[in-house]
Structure formats: C-alpha cells, structure tokens
Amino acid sequence: MNMFPPILLADVKTWFDSMWYPPVYLAVTTAFLIVVLALTRVAFPKLFALIWVTAKEGMNLTLFTALLGLGVALLLFLPYIPFNTLGEDLKMHMSVGLTFVKIPAILLALWLSGISIAEEIEGKTALMLLSKPVSRVQLILGKFFGILVPVFVMYIVLGGLFLGTTGYKVVHNARETCEEEPKTQDCVDAMVNITPSIAMTFLETATMVAVAVALSTRLPMLANITCCISIFLLGHLIQYLPQFVSQFTHGKSVIVEFITNVMAAILPVLGHFSIESSIGANQTLPLTYLMFSSLYCVLYCVVALVLALLMFEDRDLA
C-alpha cells in the first residue's frame, strides 16, 4: 500500500525534475564572484585586502545572518500565500518575491556603508588605515566593493531560493485551481523568465550602495541611513515628479519646476530597475533593456564614487 498520495508524489517529481536551474544559477554566480575576486587579488593586491576585510566584517555581522534568515523564511512561505488574484497569483508571487530579495540586501548595504565608512571616520580608524600605504581612492573603492560582496552573496542565496519557489509556485497554482498538470518545462520557463529581474534588482541595490558610500563620507551613520531611505523612495517617483508638478502648477511656478527638474537630474532614477509592469503584462525582459540599465548603473556608480572621493579628499580625519 502506497503511504503517499499520488498527487503528492507527482508534485515532488515535478519539483525535482525542474530543480536543475537554481543550482546552475548558484554555480554560475558563485563562480563569477570567485573569478572577479581572484583577478582583483592578482591585479590590485592592496585593493583586494581592503575588499576582503570589509566583506568579512559584513558577513560576520549578526545583521547579515538575521536579514538572510528573514529573507529565506519569507521566500519559503511565499508560494503558499493566497493572493486571490483570479489566475494572476504567479505574477504576484514574482513581484513580491523580488521585493523579499531586494529589501534585505538594501538594508544590509545601508548599514554596512555606515559602519564601514562613517563610523571608521568618526572613530579615527580611517586615519590609521591611511597611515599605511593606502590612498584615499583605494579606501573608498575598497569599501564600495567590499560592501558589494556580502550583498552579492545575499543575492546568490536568496535569488537561488526565489527561483526554486517560483518553479514550485507553477505546480502549486495548478494544484489549487485544479488545472492540468504543469510540465517540467513550464516550471523552468518561469524561473528563466524571472532571472533577469533578479539582475535588475541587484543593479538597483548597487546604485544605492554607491549613493550610501558617497553620503557616508560626510554624514554620520543615522543621518546617512535616513537620507538613503529618502533617496530610495524618491528614486522610484522622480521620473513622474516633473510631469506631476508641471500639471499641478500649470507652469506658473518656475522655481518649483526648476528644483524638481534638478532633483530628477541628480537623484538616481530607480524606477528604471522596477520591472513589475512587464511581469504584470507577462512580458520577457528584453536583453537590450538589461544592458542599458547596467550601463546606467555603472555610470551612476562612477559619478557617485567620484563625488565621494572629492568629498573625502579634503575631509579632516584627525
């Protein structure tokens, strides 16, 4: 006598048949991180030392473990949340899951930028580092990439788990709605389609890391986190703000419109990295859009880091 229901056995079989993709994702992203760190160690040994020390400090924090555990718990529970969207549960799962991956990583990045730069400046630790053969440019770049390493590790773990729960959500939805048994390829297609979205959220997080590093050269930890949270919220609204202000003022307040346009030019347009609309329309993220978003992220990070170096260059550390 079979002690397991046939539907459960079919569920588990589909799960294991489609679970080859998340390990591939984990292996590729982990190998990429190892190769980059190895090349940095060979080409820039001093920079690598700063990156490695900052990364180890970040991953040894209790906050890193807590945020990672919280993200894992939320993602494991996510497939069983009844969104009651009349057939759109998978889209809601993808949208909410991306948030569960992104928010812990951004919180970790903001906290690390505060303790790695702002507190080291206040505690005179940065002065001790600069007394060694380390330049201010190397210090800023080492802190920036050192913060990105634990953030990337968090994306490796949470992103891989999110892919697995996305594949299972396809099966779970069919069970809940009594639809036709999904094929293994259906699960794999859902995971493949959501992978570029994980990359987009990482680009958004990397942009916020650059902003946090720049502000931490002048602001204390609490003020830095507060400003970064404000910039994060404004970054998702700034692309619509000039048009809204123009319609609200009817062109009568030139000063307000000028200030709004300046803010739109300076602040990061994080809305470019939000692809919930494409998920809702059941569209695959074009590769060209991902490439241009990556270019925007790199350019903004370069500008933010140059600004950080200019502000840090004349900072009195004594």
Higher pLDDT, 125 or 218: 218
Tens digit of each residue's pLDDT (9 = 90 or more) over 43-55: 999 889 889 988 9
Between CA 82 and CA 115 the distance in angstroms is 39
Look at the chain and report how many structural domains it folds into.
1
Q: Residue 63 is part of which domain span?
A: 6-219+287-313
Asked whether the predicted pLDDT for residue 121 surpasses 80, the reply is no
Does some domain include residue 233? no
Does some domain include residue 269? no
Does some domain include residue 256? no
Does some domain include residue 262? no
Does some domain include residue 229? no
- Most confident listed range (2-16, 85-99, 131-145, 289-303): 289-303
CB 137 within 8 A of CB 48: no
Q: Residue 2's pLDDT band (boundaries 50, 70, 90)? A: very low
Does some domain include residue 186? yes
CB 260 within 8 A of CB 242: yes
**Percent of the chain beyond pLDDT 90?**
28
- Most confident listed range (5-9, 117-121, 194-198): 194-198
Tens digit of each residue's pLDDT (9 = 90 or more) over 209-219: 999 999 988 88
Does some domain include residue 277? no
Does some domain include residue 258? no
